[in-house]
Amino acid sequence: MNELMKQLKCIESCVDRETYRFVVAEAIVKHIVKQIQVRNEELSKQKVVDKVNLSLRALKIEPVSYGFVRKFCDK
């Protein structure tokens, strides 16, 4: 995940802020969902939203909505 975040940081200046926000959020959601599945834990969408938004805030990026995260959890 750290390597992916480094690569995403490199493209930050190439795309607009909103696009960058959604690309980073999608990468974080997929990573968290994958971790939950590997651990065979129950998938709580609200818990995923909280973790994603906490990670985004740490990167000084605006949080995403529950609906955004739900799109990736329902796949």
Domain of 46, in residue numbers: 2-73
Cα dihedral sign for 46, 52, 58, 59? negative
What's the predicted TM-score (pTM) here? 0.87
- The answer to whether 56 touches 65, Cβ cutoff 8 Å, is no
Q: Region 52-74: what's the mean pLDDT? A: 92
Count of domains observed in the chain: 1
Q: Among 74, 20, 29, 24, which Cα is nearest to 47's?
A: 29
The H-or-E segment that residue 58 falls in is helix 45-58
Q: Region 46-63: what's the mean pLDDT? A: 94
Give the pLDDT score at 11: 85
